[in-house]
Amino acid sequence: MKGRAVAFFLIFALSLGFFCAGGGLLWARRNGLALSGELALGERGGAEGAKLALRAALEGHLVWDAEYSPATGSTESAARWQLAREDLYEPDNSPTLSLASMSYVCSWAGSLPESLAGASDDPANGRFLSYWLEPAYQRFLADARAGGLRDREYPLGDFSDRVPLGAYASGGVSGAEDLAERFRLPAEGLTLRVDCAQNPANDTIQLNFSIPGLEEHCASVYAPSGWLYFSFDMRSEGERLSGELLPGGGWGVWRVRCTPEGGADTSSERWWMSEDIDYTCEPDTLERVCAFSGDWELHALRLSGDGGRVLLTGVRDGALSLRALDAVTGETLQDLPLGVEGGYVEGIYDGEGWAVFQIYAGREASLLCCGEDAGRYTPRMTAPLALPERPESLRELPEDYFSWAVTDARFDGERLYVLYEISCAPDWGSSLWYVLSVFDEGGAVYTEWLPALPFASLWSLKAE
């Protein structure tokens, strides 16, 4: 035992020594973190106005903050030790809301019961059991006793005059389930399917009630004004269901107040992303703030960087469009065609007086740069998106070895700065780079590839 204790102490001492020595070496370099990349296009003067900000963490405790100026190739950095583990990536726990058609799965050992009442611990069971599910089950039970257990289909309208919907919220929201009762969609022409599965090994029967052929699409975003905005669309075999009975008399974008509960800290920047805040949904405040004029598809909702606008994007009558709403009043500020047929907006980057929309349409990708004034956007230039120009050392590799994604973008009114994360995975291993490209109206004028650091890091563009 004594020998084991001595061995343990020696191993501990050696480990502590290596840790302290390694930490000391790293600490000695705390202000000497040098970033440098390989130019693939242009000269350093072409990156004037660009600056990269970097936060990196080794094991979460040794943290660097650095700024890299591509125009000069210089880096300024500082480091610190901290006991608390640094989380580089801020999770988004902001409130969300979705509406969906209800399905129901239940199983029993032995034979089918006389009623579904009490057959499930699902707290939502009582909300829709009486008005459609129990009558449907009774029809299935009678048919099963008369003709045996098998899959069956019935007109949904035999059991309900509307599509059974559920409202589902996340991000600490309570009380949103009551919203489902306010969204009524006609059941006419829809089918209720009951799938029956038997397992002889354990003598169980499982029933799955569902409505086949329904396609639903929801989007939501929470605004710091205290409103949760959401859009909702439901189609059967590609045809949108009638929205006459929906709040406001048709399809569109709604909002409902979700109030932070007492004591919540709303003083920090982007406080609504915190997982420490709970919200109370107030269904009586539900209102439709804009109607879907024409046929909107693939709609998405996002919040502007300053939290002042809700941005609806989607395909309206075949063309990609933007609608900007005031996040406080819900009023429409602007309708703007985005200049492409079909497609979708993958991301939005914005700041004071500018916005960049990342657009995909078929095989084509682009960045649309806009000026912004009082919530209205004016297109200024468009830059194509593809794998950036590669440095000499990488040009012989096939292009399909590389995968890329835009992680940040900025627009100064004349030039566009784009930051990519690019990985390359040939047969012998993989590598990762952060790549800066600068565009003017004529195309790319500068590209620099910076190899990723060997520890966790977060890169972003910063204004000069």
Residue 122 in this model has a pLDDT that exceeds 80: no
What's the half-sphere exposure (Cβ side, CA atoms, 13 Å) at 280?
7
The DSSP string of 244-294 is: TTSTTSSSEEEEEEEEEPTT----STTGGG-TT--EEEEEEEEEEEEE--S
User: What CA–CA distance (Å, rounded) separates 187 from 192?
Assistant: 10
Tracing tokens 């919907």 back to the chain, one arrives at 165
pLDDT tier at 246, thresholds 50, 70, 90: very high
Under the banding of pLDDT at 50, 70 and 90, the label for residue 25 is very low
| Adjacency order of strands within the sheet including 319-326 | 296-303, 309-316, 319-326, 332-341
CA separation for the pair 98, 91 (Å, rounded): 20
> What pLDDT, on the 0 to 100 scale, is given for residue 359?
96
pLDDT of residue 263: 81
The pLDDT assigned to 12 comes to: 41
DSSP 8-state code for residue 131: I
Structure tokens at 173: 């929201």
Q: Indicate the DSSP class of residue 129.
A: I
Which helix or strand (DSSP H or E) is residue 11 part of?
helix 2-28
d(CA 227, CA 221): 9
Q: Which residue has the higher pLDDT, 369 or 83?
A: 369
- For residue 231, give both structure tokens: 């859009």
**And the tokens for 42?**
């242009």
Structure tokens at 68: 């890299």
Q: Which residue has the higher pLDDT, 85 or 13?
A: 85
Indicate the pLDDT class of residue 427, thresholds 50, 70 and 90. Answer: low
Res 123: pLDDT? 43
pLDDT surpasses 90 at 288 = yes
For range 436-464, the mean pLDDT: 91
Nearest CA to 65 among 80, 85, 50? 80
CA–CA gap between residue 139 and residue 375 (Å, rounded): 55
**What pLDDT does residue 15 have?**
42
Record the tokens describing residue 242, joined without a space: 């009638």
Q: What is the mean pLDDT of residues 222-248?
A: 94
Alpha-carbon distance 74 to 76, whole Å? 7
CA distance 48 to 188: 63
The torsion angle over the Cα atoms of residues 64, 70, 72 and 74, rounded to 10 degrees, is 10
User: When comparing pLDDT for 24 and 242, which is higher?
Assistant: 242
Q: Stretch 147-156: mean pLDDT, rounded?
A: 95
Contact 56, 434 (CB under 8 A): no
What pLDDT score does 304 carry? 95
Cα–Cα separations (whole angstroms), residue 100 to 55, 189, 210 = 40, 18, 12
Structural domain spans, the chain: 2-81, 392-454
pLDDT level of residue 430 (50, 70, 90 thresholds) = confident
| Residue 14, CA atoms < 13 Å, CB-side half-sphere | 6
Window from 12-16, 53-57, 112-116 with minimum mean pLDDT: 12-16
pLDDT at 111: 86
Provide mean pLDDT across the span 32-44: 89
**Least confident among 55-64, 150-159, 304-313, 358-367:** 55-64
The pLDDT of residue 33:
77
Lowest mean pLDDT among 6-15, 111-120, 200-209, 415-424: 6-15
The whole-angstrom distance between residue 462's C-alpha and the CA centroid of its chain comes to: 23
pLDDT surpasses 60 at 16:
no
User: Does residue 187 register a pLDDT over 90?
Assistant: yes
Q: Got the DSSP string for 35-98?
A: ---EEEES-GGGGTTEEEEEEEEETTTEEEEEEEETTTTEEEEEEEE-SSPP--S------EEE
Residue 307 has pLDDT above 90, yes or no: yes
Asked whether the whole model's pTM tops 0.85, one would answer yes
- Mean pLDDT value across the chain: 88
Query: CA 218, CA 230: separation in Å to the nearest integer?
Result: 7
Q: Identify the band that residue 428 occupies on the pLDDT scale cut at 50, 70 and 90.
A: low
- The CA distance from 258 to 94, in Å, is 11
pLDDT in tens, 345-365: 999 999 999 999 999 998 899
Residue 384: partners with Cβ closer than 8 Å, 6 or more residues away = 364, 365, 366, 443
**What percent of the chain is modeled with pLDDT above 70?**
89
| 126 pLDDT more than 80 | no
Banded pLDDT at 371 (limits 50, 70, 90): very high
Q: What is the mean pLDDT of residues 320-347?
A: 94
**Nearby residues of 280 by Cβ (< 8 Å), 6 or more positions away:** 173, 174, 175, 258, 259, 261
Is it the case that residue 20 has pLDDT exceeding 50?
no
